[in-house]
Amino acid sequence: MSSIRLFLIASILAILTLFNFVAALQGYQASLREAEQLFDNQLYQTAKLIANLHTEQIQTPPSPQNNLAYQVWHNNQLIATSSPSLRKPIIELLPGFDHANFNGYRWRTLVFYDDNHNNWIIVAERSDLRYMLAESVITQAVLPILLGIPLAGLLIWLIVSRGLKPLRDLSEQLKNKQANDLTPIAIPDLKSELKQVNHSINALMRRLGSALDREKRFTADAAHELRTPISALKVQLHNLREEVPQGNEAFAQLEAGVERMQHLVEQLLSLYRSTPEEFSHQMTRLNLYELAQEVIANQHHDFEKCNQLLELEGDNCFVEGDPFALTTLLQNLLSNANKYTPPGGQIRVTTEAVGGHICLKVEDSGPGISPTDYSKVFERFQRLSHIKDVAAVQGCGLGLTIVKHIADLHNARTSIAPSSFDTGTAFIILFPRTPDSHD
């Protein structure tokens, strides 16, 4: 059973029902014994009453509804009976209680010897009628217990629900916490059973916060510390270029390695800046189309060098976002398209309103990505090996990771699809649409 509430209620009700059943059964059996004793005592009093009435030679008219039968015997002669058909002894003349069958019924019998008149008195009462009466009385006593079980179930439900309220409050606080909120959870008047759980959760948050701080410091410190020697290397390479023959392959590889290292450092810094702790929540209303124009203008020379056709289509679409983060997102998408689109290829950026979203699409005519690899491209340091000459393409495998991370910070959905060109890939970012997203 997946619900603690249902488990507790079902268990308590099962135990309560079991105990009520056992108690009702014991009470039923005990009540039957007491009723039997009462009826037997009544039968004995009836026998004494008959003995004192001097019923000799008195015949009682037969009554099919009568539940009582009697005989009075004196010296083996029947001197009184409740029915003319009862001419033989109902039961053997031995003092005490017993059972007998006659007239189609089972009867409880009592043989009583009257010392004063030397008479044997036999009194019989139908067993079925006395059981019916006893069961009627007992049922009226037991029925409230059985009917009280549903009411007890309702009360147990309310009590258990009330008892689980602190657990619901704890769950609600956890659910409402933001991704960057690692502050301790404080619930007033927390029950003792949940104090340890709350303490463990807060301890976990402290450890998680410490781990994130260490990762943040390491990324920032490593990136900043690497910038200085990289800058020094670039200065030395610039000075060395005049002394190295034109077209030296080793020198070209050295320059490419330094550029790659600088690119990796810059990407690490971008990834660090876009973490929830550093991300600015003071989002502004941005025109996504105009932002794309600015980024394309700044990076247009990269596409011109590769003789690539870069197009911007769509309308003015507005989103709530951070300017720096969205600029980084567009730069990485365009840089990725520039790297993997062959010379003379096409790249298209589109901004448009689609249903309840604002769509940003960047598609190219490059080699494309296999659908089985769609989920891999957003992983850190992931570079798809099936793409020809991928090693020759400058990159560190962080660009699309940063794109996905920034999109998540803006509550946007990221997806990949084939491009509208003959080959290539389309990266699609769907931002939440606001009432004034399209002007």
Query: What DSSP line would sit under 74-131, residue for residue?
Result: ETTEEEEES-TT--S-SS-S-SEEEEEEETTEEEEEEEEEETTTTEEEEEEEEHHHHH
Identify the pLDDT of residue 252.
81
Helix 323-340 crosses helix 249-273 at what angle (to 10 degrees)? Answer: 150
The residue segments making up the domain with residue 13 are 4-158
pLDDT bin (cut points 50, 70, 90) of residue 277 is low
95: nearest Cα among 67, 114, 69, 68? 114
95: nearest Cα among 69, 120, 75, 78? 120
Tell me, yes or no, whether 50 lies in a domain: yes
Highest mean pLDDT: which range of 66-70, 119-123, 164-168:
119-123
The residue whose two tokens read 């991300």 is 279
CA 341 to each of CA 183, 299, 366, 419: distance values in angstroms, whole numbers, following the listed order? 46, 15, 4, 12
Same domain for 106 and 246? Answer: no
Tell me, yes or no, whether 335 lies in a domain: yes
Same domain for 196 and 262? Answer: yes
CATH code for position 52: 3.30.450
Same domain for 241 and 292? Answer: no
Identify the pLDDT of residue 433.
86
pLDDT bin (cut points 50, 70, 90) of residue 62 is very low
The rounded distance, in Å, linking the Cα atoms of 427 and 333 is 8
Over residues 8-16, mean pLDDT: 79
Average pLDDT, the chain: 80
Same domain for 145 and 207? Answer: no
The rounded distance, in Å, linking the Cα atoms of 181 and 205 is 9
Same domain for 23 and 81? Answer: yes
Same domain for 188 and 153? Answer: no
Tell me, yes or no, whether 78 lies in a domain: yes
CATH code for position 374: 3.30.565.10
Does 82 score more than 60 pLDDT? Answer: yes
Output the pTM of the full model.
0.49
**Between 261 and 28, the higher pLDDT residue:** 261
Over residues 121-136, mean pLDDT: 80
Does 279 score more than 90 pLDDT? Answer: no
**Between 36 and 278, the higher pLDDT residue:** 36
Does 244 score more than 70 pLDDT? Answer: yes
The rounded distance, in Å, linking the Cα atoms of 113 and 119 is 6
Does 289 score more than 70 pLDDT? Answer: yes
Same domain for 82 and 185? Answer: no
pLDDT bin (cut points 50, 70, 90) of residue 395 is low
Last residue of a domain, one of 129, 158, 187: 158
The rounded distance, in Å, linking the Cα atoms of 296 and 347 is 11
Q: How many domains does the chain have?
A: 3
Does 57 score more than 50 pLDDT? Answer: no
Identify the pLDDT of residue 63.
44
Token pair in block for residue 118: 């030397």
119: nearest Cα among 57, 42, 43? 57
The rounded distance, in Å, linking the Cα atoms of 52 and 235 is 138
Same domain for 320 and 352? Answer: yes
Does 56 score more than 70 pLDDT? Answer: no
Read off the pLDDT of residues 162-217 as tens digits, 9 standing for 90 and up.
Answer: 777 777 777 777 777 776 677 777 777 777 767 778 788 888 888 887 887 787 77
Same domain for 148 and 220? Answer: no
Identify the pLDDT of residue 427.
94
Over residues 83-100, mean pLDDT: 86
- The torsion angle over the Cα atoms of residues 385, 389, 392 and 396, rounded to 10 degrees, is -20
Tell me, yes or no, whether 298 lies in a domain: yes
Same domain for 194 and 212? Answer: yes
Does 419 score more than 60 pLDDT? Answer: yes
Does 106 score more than 50 pLDDT? Answer: yes
- CB contact at 8 A, 47 and 112: yes
CATH code for position 229: 1.10.287.130
Cα R_g (the chain), whole angstroms = 48
323: nearest Cα among 295, 369, 283? 283
Same domain for 199 and 66? Answer: no
Identify the pLDDT of residue 61.
45
Same domain for 272 and 286? Answer: no
